[in-house]
Structure 1
Amino acid sequence: MNIDRIQEKLEILADAAKYDVSCSSSGGNRKNKNGGLGDSHASGICHSYTEDGRCVSLLKILLTNHCIYDCAYCVSRKSNDIKRAAFTVEEVVDLTINFYRRNFIEGLFLSSGIFTDSDTTMERLVRVAKKLRTEHKFNGYIHLKSIPGASDEIMREAGLYADRLSVNLEIPTEKGLKLLAPEKSHSEMIKPMTYVKNELILYKDERKIFKKVPKFAPAGQSTQMIVGATDETDFKIIKVADHFYKNFNLKRVYYSGYVPMLEDARLPSIHSQVPMVRENRLYQADWLMRFYGFKADEILDRSNPFLDLEVDPKLAWSLRHLEQFPVNVNTAPKEMLLRIPGVGTKSVRKILMARKFQKLNLDHLKKIGVAINRAKYFVEFESHNVFTNFIDHQNFRKIILDTTKSKFTSPFSEQLTLF
């Protein structure tokens, strides 16, 4: 093995993979057995993120950056003059095993440029996963990027060896995709997503009947959308995400702010960059839909199509609906408690349990872990709210911003203390 050449390939193909953020390693439950290597049970996966939020707990690489497509937004586009490289199946397997044994990684995230055709590319990715599982008894986490256009037979095999599968929508709308990647279509991307969704349902039903049913993508599937390469509004983006959550049972939708790197008249200026805070707000809006009971149309609408970059989406909703507040913490239903700024899902569970035994006050909420600096303006404990009675609602927004620093939270703080 030429160590220098492998190192050069690794540098090229790891760098090319950094723009794909849909590599969370959560949700796997593949336990070690028969003296195998690794364990992707949820408690066995460690998460490490760089300052800009990129996941580094996995060996995250492309099989190759050779590609037959010329997508305007992609650094690996065929017309881009960059260094090209390709791993063999054996090289990826050896790297994964060696890095795991040296405690550098907990699993593998493997994507690829599309070479020759979709089936050939996907088959090569599946061979890596199959070799790890069957020959090396590797039970660590494996995330494979599904290749649009790959056959159902290959997708089925991928699901049997990978913990998670994902197909990137890339651009939120078909119109935007046709502008920047005219050779691609959302219909081709949706086909493998539909297949995986149906297989997940089938395997779940079969497990109710038969004891020994093989795992099929136990960590589900995810997707990613590029934000800011085209002119879609935040409202359109979260509506698209909402559609895929409801109709494809996705585990996650990831949002990646477009990073200018190529001169192209179809793209934003090379000197402009999507603010990281916009990416942050989309993740927060996503969190509201998934865990807080908000509908996409509540967060934004056509008359208000962009997320407020100064305040998080829950606070923005609350400021638009002051008639819903204050909320009586001791009597309000769970659904309304979840809408109080500064109150997260764990805090709501604690509130519902604690109020069975005593009347709660502000000190209790503080001990529970509620962000009092903002929640205090939206709650009451007796017949009236001593806080909002004296607030000029025209200055309400300014008062809250002056008394909280949560708007400076890191863009990838998904536990969202803002809520």
Structure 2
Amino acid sequence: MKWTGSSKLLVATVVALLAVAAVVWVRRDSSAAEHETASADPNTPWTATWATAMQDGKGAGFQRETLRQVVHTSIGGDTVRVRLSNEFGRAPLTVGAVYLAKHLGTGTVDPATNAHVTFGGADSVTVKAGGTAVSDPVAYRLPAGGELAVSAYLPQPVASATQHGSANRDNYMASGNQSTKASLPGVRSFYNYSFLAGVDVQNGGAEGAVVALGASITDGYDSTWNGNRSWHDLLARRLNGAGRTVGVLNAGISGNSLLQDGVGRSALNRLQRDVLAQPGVTWVILADLGVNDLGGADESTGGRLVAGLRQLIQRSHGAKVKVLCGTLPPYAGAEGWSRAGEAGRKTFNTFVRTRGNGCDGVVDFDAAVRDRADPDRWNARYDQGDHMHPNNAGMEALAGAVDLGLFARADG
């Protein structure tokens, strides 16, 4: 065959197009490889980037639906896993078709970032009543301060899901298996975290994690909805801005107490699960624990709170976790305030501020938000209006009260 000039040009063009196509597929394959099941690096420990405290769902269930739950990460990593809980379930929980993806807003995800999550190599997992499950590692580039959607299909009716009562944001559900879809036709919102207990990462630069253990203030009560404006979120931003790689976890439960079970298990009874068992935990901030114990207080309340705090410190130190003790913010003017409760608060705060208390550091939340002219009350600038919970400015003041120097580097 005789090659003409035009024939040579045609062949050259085809070769060039094939070369471009080859490059495109290599890029696609490379991108896809970032989302495949991976082997965990045995030399890099897991660190939690997000977690929540599980509670009894008390009858809140689902009917063969896809749940798309959104978490705000504190640190990033190259390998990710999720933790599921059926702690309060009365029957086995089957979860299938689990995917991670970048959340774009209002329940929509970027499908190009979809990553399939498996459990023991299987597409689904059945978690026994009272049990938990941890996924296989997934190679996935997760940024710090990002919005990650965890979509999971429930192929069987769930009568009562283990949950965290208030997500302080919208989560999303829709009928059927829609776990990989960018948007969810027929989407409906719900306002808790159901069976999703934690998200962990592997990051070679991670310095550990700090758990904020508290009640409604730590839970983010009445901070901006969908805004990630709780004080622990703001603390995570401060740490990131300072070049630190510290996971910041929210173990607050609205209405929770230090001493008594009620709305969730008491801090004493959930310390192991919500703090000491968290991957990479290095510090715990004992925050607004005790505020709810002051309701119905008597003259012994302050001493009992101090005794409870001592137990938390001893048990945390036994697990080699450093304890940052927080003073209790004021609450005069709030429903449930009493002179006996105020006396108990002062007894507790005096102990926290006393040398030799056993704490590894002190976070003086009280001093950060109280009214200087009337220190039993919130500064009006920070008061949400009920004289117990902060507004957004108050959340910033609480986050600012945490000295970043308390998070000593391992090498320093």
Length-normalised TM-score, structure 2: 0.30
Q: Which has the higher contact order (CA 8 A, sep 6+)?
A: 2
Task: Pick the structure with more strand per residue.
Answer: 2
Larger helix share, 1 or 2? 1
